[in-house]
Amino acid sequence: MQFEYISDRHCEVCYKPAISGVCQDCKRIKNPVMHHAIFHYNDFAKTYFKQYKFNGDFRLKAAFNQILRLNLKGQQIIPIPVSAERLQSRGFNQVTGFLSSANLPYLALLSKIETEHQSHKTRVARLSTDNPFRLNTPSKLPDSVLIFDDIYTTGTTLKHAIDIIKNAGCPRVSTFSLFR
């Protein structure tokens, strides 16, 4: 009940809450990708993610099963990966945990090199990071995919993943996150 839905008043491109039309960030981007999000990243959400992601309470992955099924069913989903080092230390990928719990199939097409936690960086540092993603296989991609992440803050993570997928030949890419 404490997860706050994003209202109809949000950026038409990135879903930034409390914006009419297109936000200033999206106006500066050439060829922005349409994003969709469900909830505000409020204090309750931060507490939830601390428990799930950083304290390793994997049982919390089931909290969004119904919402994910409603929003992602039938999509060719590419989850944002965690690095091998992060997977080793955390024990799980929180994004694929959500998808597996909701019984949603996904394409594990991306891998990630280890970088500093995004949550430890300033906005400026996040926006200027190098692309940490690599394509796992050179196989033909579907014509349309949806890249899924847990939280959209600056959009840098999703933009890096989009670049890799589009450069690999996928013409239609959209993005989705639970929180914005």
pLDDT value of position 30: 84
pLDDT for residue 47: 97
Strand partners, 134: 111
pTM: 0.88
- Asked if residues 92 and 83 have their Cβ atoms less than 8 Å apart, the reply is no
What local confidence, expressed as pLDDT, does residue 6 receive?
Answer: 96
Band of residue 119 on the pLDDT scale cut at 50, 70, 90: low
Using alpha carbons, select from 35, 31, 28, 30 the residue that is nearest to residue 13: 35
**Cβ atoms of residues 127 and 153 within 8 Å:** no
| 115 has pLDDT over 90 | no
Span 21-34, average pLDDT: 89
Q: For residues 68 and 104, is the Cβ–Cβ distance under 8 A?
A: yes
All structural domains of the chain = 61-179 (3.40.50)
Cα–Cα dist 170/142, whole Å: 6
Across the range 113-128, mean pLDDT stands at 65
